[in-house]
Every structure is written in structure tokens, then in C-alpha cells.
Amino acid sequence: MKTVVSISLGPESLDFDFKTKFLGKQFRVIRIGTNKDLAKAKALLKGWENKADAIGLGMVREHQRVGSYQFAQAATTDLLETVTRIPITTGSNLREILHDWAIRHTQIEVPNFFNNSTILFLSGMANYRAARVLSEYTENLTFADPVLQLGIPKFLTSLHALELYAAGTHQFTKWTAPHVLTPSIAPIKDWNKYIVRKALQKADVIAARYDEL
């Protein structure tokens, strides 16, 4: 029997442990939440490396690719490099393929569903591939990255603008700590919350990670 373990930064209240058959083989699938405790996650990875056949990482920040720019998440890299003996993955490549498939499948099953739709991405940098697919059906793309990442009250309204933003952010974050980026001035924070709420109300489709939603 093969054992597959998911070590998640999500809540332990969602843990499970079951056995199933897949492609004619028996599998034991285990999910262990760590409540955002990186040290606990790392310890679990080391412990399960000698007992599991494969490990998945859940609720971690994934590496981002926007145009020709790539952004590595240091904490995720550290967790991935903890395991060397067996396969370990965040599942990001498969998830991107499934996002593509889901978008195109929806467009076929619900004819022209995305045509000219107003689509709001809470993080265009985290959903760049999906944004490229959706851009085949609509030009009404809005990205909230500057508002939510840097605290700048300005949305991006095209893939080209997102790519330029990514290029600038790539250089900016090299010398600026992430916690410094978002302003703490109450009026600006309140205004940003207001414009995001208005954008949410106007959107036909909202694209975001589970934790963002």
C-alpha cells in the first residue's frame, strides 16, 4: 500500500485519514494541518519522509510566474528542500492545468459565459496563467495587486499593466521588507477597503485563492 501525506499550513480541524483504490492500487491518504506553524510543518516533513511514498504541501505560498519574471517564496522553498528522499510537491503545475481546463470547460458547457465578463483578480500575480486564458474571452480584467500588496489605491486593468507591475515589484521587494509595503495610515486603509468592496460588487467573476476569499 502506498502512503501519501499532505502537510498543510491550514487548520488541523480539516484533517483526514482514509484508504482508497486508484488505478488498481491501494493508497492511504493522510492530511495533517499545522495551523500556520512553519516549524511544526518542517518537523512533520522530516518525520514522514521515512514513512510516506509522497508528500504534498498545502496552503503554502506558491512560486509565481508573470511574463518573464519569476518570484520564489522563501518559506515554501525551505519546506520543499526539507524532503530529499521521496517526491514532494505543492501541486502548482497540476493546479494551473486544471484551472485552464475548468475555464475552457465552463466556456463550452455554459456557452460564452466569460465573453465580455468583468473579472476581478485579488492577485493577478498568483493567477497569471488563468488570466491569460480568460483574456481570450474578455478584455475586462482588473487586478487588485497594488491595492492589496502595496496599499496603493490603484487597480491594474490589463495583462500588460500586470507584467509591468510585476517587473517593478520584482526590483522593489529586493530591498524593501514585505511588512513595510502596506501603509498603516487609517484613511488610506479604509479607502482601499472601500474601493475593493466596490470592485467586488461590480465583478461578474472573482478569481482568488481560498484563503483570500
Q: pLDDT class for 171, splitting at 50, 70, 90?
A: low
> Residue 211: its pLDDT value, please?
74
Average of pLDDT values for 118-128?
Answer: 94
Residue 113: closest CA among 144, 134, 141:
134
Average of pLDDT values for 29-53?
Answer: 97
d(CA 180, CA 170) in angstroms, rounded, equals 15
Note the pLDDT tens digit of each residue in 78-99: 999 999 999 999 998 898 899 9
In the chain, the percentage of residues whose pLDDT exceeds 90 is: 74
> Residue 73: its pLDDT value, please?
82
Average of pLDDT values for 7-17?
Answer: 96
Q: pLDDT class for 183, splitting at 50, 70, 90?
A: low
